[in-house]
């Protein structure tokens, strides 16, 4: 048994990681300021975790959260490309300064390894597919820049201080506990919530933009394996399914599952959005032992069923 700190543990991805760690018999500390995470995501876990309501930018909060911790899984961030385009400063503060604070305090606390959430957005609009970790980054948005900066900080801490850091580049994660509300909600939960209610979703652009959608269980697996995978320290790894789906096909799949015939509305492309995304996941398979547990087709069925259950409840 080891103690894990999950930053952003009340968020979509963080809460799923915390839940899996508890199922595996590990001790879990959650650090979250609830700026984008939700207490409802931790329902049923309250008595089993050590919860610290605090901020990764705050020295005292981070030090308290790191007590007795062997592995850190860093999910805390201010998400959304569009939010960062509208105002880059909060995104930089949370994602860069927050990560730097966590790295520094983890180094001083003697943490064995820190695994951080990065993003496929660091690749930018390169037409080359699939995206490989050895490609030169070309971030388009301040959010993407913040994630790349955090990666580079992590690598510098591995080289300079000996803190083992692994960065995972997520490709469009979806699944239970993802928030469908708000201006910056991700496309899958937003589409599902609208279509369950019989409302047509809005697509920005022609709908042929494609994404490598990855069900949450795959991302949880990658994080936990990255904590102990030999030789992974200092590495950066894509986490996805290695298949892509365009938004018009996504709407068609949801119509089929829901038994609806809704037609998406179209609006102009949004600044900072990337046209196509597809991951090469061979490095994660080789170094982390990562495998796709749940493919897109199964994941979207599971996700729709979960949201239906939530709305019925």
Q: Is 4 a catalytic residue?
A: no
Dump the DSSP string for 80-125: -HHHHHH-HHHHHIIIIIHHHHHHHHHHHHT-SEEEEEEEGGGGTT
Provide the pLDDT for residue 175.
96
Cβ contacts of residue 128 below 8 Å, gap of 6+? 135
Provide the pLDDT for residue 124.
92
pLDDT digits (tens, 9 = 90+) for 103-158: 999 999 999 999 999 999 999 988 899 999 999 999 999 999 999 999 999 999 99
Mean pLDDT to the nearest integer, 202-209: 94
Provide the pLDDT for residue 254.
97
Mean pLDDT to the nearest integer, 23-43: 96
Q: Which of 143, 170, 215, 237 is catalytic?
A: 143
* E-state strands within the chain: 3-7, 27-32, 50-53, 71-74, 113-119, 164-170, 173-174, 202-204, 210-211, 214-215, 236-239, 245-246, 265-267
CATH says 3-174+214-241+278-293 is which class?
Answer: alpha beta
Please check the confidence at residue 273 and state whether its pLDDT lies above 80.
Answer: no
pLDDT, averaged across the chain: 95
């Amino acid at each position: 048994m080891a103690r894990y700190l999950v930053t952003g543990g009340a968020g979509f991805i963080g809460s799923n990681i915390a839940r899996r760690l508890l199922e595996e018999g590990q001790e879990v500390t959650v650090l979250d300021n609830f700026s984008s995470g939700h207490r409802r995501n931790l329902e049923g876990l309250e008595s089993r975790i050590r919860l610290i309501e605090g901020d990764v930018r705050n020295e005292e909060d981070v030090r308290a959260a790191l007590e007795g911790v062997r592995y850190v899984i860093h999910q805390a961030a201010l998400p959304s490309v569009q939010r960062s385009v509208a105002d880059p400063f909060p995104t930089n503060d949370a994602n860069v300064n927050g990560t730097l604070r966590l790295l520094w305090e983890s180094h001083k606390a003697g943490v064995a390894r820190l695994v951080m959430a990065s993003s496929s957005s660091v690749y930018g609009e390169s037409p080359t597919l699939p995206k490989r970790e050895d490609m030169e980054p070309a971030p388009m948005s301040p959010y993407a820049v913040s994630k790349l900066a955090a990666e580079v900080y992590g690598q510098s801490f591995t080289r300079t201080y000996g803190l083992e850091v692994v960065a995972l580049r997520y490709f469009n994660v979806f699944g239970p506990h993802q928030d469908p509300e708000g201006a910056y909600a991700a496309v899958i939960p937003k589409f599902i919530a609208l279509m369950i209610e019989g409302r047509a979703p809005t697509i920005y652009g022609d709908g042929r933009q494609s994404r490598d959608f990855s069900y949450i269980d795959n991302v949880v697996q990658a994080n936990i394996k990255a904590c102990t995978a030999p030789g992974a320290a200092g590495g950066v790894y894509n986490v996805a399914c290695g298949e892509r789906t365009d938004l018009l096909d996504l709407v068609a799949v949801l119509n089929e599952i829901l038994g609806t015939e809704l037609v998406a509305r179209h609006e102009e492309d949004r600044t900072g959005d990337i046209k196509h995304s597809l991951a090469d996941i061979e490095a994660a398979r080789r170094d982390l032992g990562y495998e796709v547990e749940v493919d897109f087709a199964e994941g979207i069925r599971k996700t729709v069923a979960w949201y239906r259950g939530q709305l019925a409840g």
